[in-house]
Amino acid sequence: MKRILALHTGGTISMSKDIGGGVVLNEKNPLLNQNELFSEEIELIVEEMFNLPSPQITLSEMFLLKERILDAIEEGIDGVVITHGTDTLEETAYFLELTVPKKISVVLTGAMRSSNEIGSDGLYNFMSAVWTAASDDSLGKGVLVVMNDEIHMAKYVTKTHTTNVATFRTPTFGPIGMLTKGKTFYIKEVMPEEVCDIQNIDGEVFLVKAYAGMNGEIFKLLNTESLAGLVIEALGAGNLPPAVLTNLQVILDRGIPVVLVSRCSNGIAEDIYAYEGGGVELKRHGVIFARGLNGQKARIRLIVGLNSDKDSKGLRAYLEGE
């Protein structure tokens, strides 16, 4: 019998609509006592880590989840399921992907409809996540996100719709598997991801999105003593308006790592264009291109890299995915 640890953190999956129509926290999580759903096949161990809407989840909560999973590995747990609010689920999943060894299956899930709404998807997604964590085929595939019968890699999955139950998608690459009647079917291999055994989550890292007519004032405001790193969602394949370059160069000259991704939902950021503000010039000046990541994932990767034992060359290689 597989032993699966369910860690509940809050979010819509644990909430209900009140009489006014607003979605609010429950005093008691409706998923706490669902052991009978898995009868004699799975021993479900349930813990409520937090009861927070996902916009209130910070790196501190992510770090505590990482530490609990490490303890679970030592305890002989076969897999971990984390229920989480959907707004920041992908960031928690990716943080765990980068910091937890691939010794057991780790699966995150959530819901787009609260527990007392018609068509609530929480219990179904939770069951699917538990079956995925218990599957032998899930082992070694890293941290997974299971929603709406699809299995996604933590690295590339993202929330794409504000309310649709099929909100979690993997642009460009698609899901790596699916579920049917509690069985997992994987259709893609997963590239190994370096795991960093970090003990801290220090450093202020900001995320900025580029736009038409952008000037460099935002970089002037961010260039403080506390700045440890900067992520920019750039235009197209990886370009910026020329007006930002002077103030951005001041940050680069301080040795602050500046990571660039595209604001497009598909494709990767590359140094293709050689005009002023183009990717070729940005890379020449020291901007790091994080291929295939969105802005929030690149920020997580940069924070993890900054708190590892990497030198500047190693950090650049890590952020570039090499």
d(C-alpha 69, C-alpha 104), whole Å: 9
d(CA 212, CA 23): 36
1 Cβ neighbours under 8 A, 6+ residues apart: 40, 41, 42, 43
Type of residue at 150: E
User: Cα(1)–Cα(134) distance, rounded to whole angstroms?
Assistant: 9
CB 301 within 8 A of CB 261: no
Catalytic residues: 12
Q: Residue for token digits 């790596």?
A: 176
Q: To 10 degrees, the CA torsion angle through 175, 272, 310, 218?
A: -100
Task: Name 321's Cβ contacts closer than 8 Å, sequence gap at least 6.
Answer: 290, 291, 292
Give the angle 288-292-297 at the CA atoms, nearest 5°. Answer: 80
Burial classification of residue 200, based on how many CB atoms lie within 10 Å of its CB (0-12 exposed, 13-18 middle, 19 or more buried): exposed
Judge whether 149 and 57 are in contact, CB under 8 Å. no
| Structure tokens belonging to residue 196 | 């960093």
Alpha-carbon distance 120 to 17, whole Å? 11
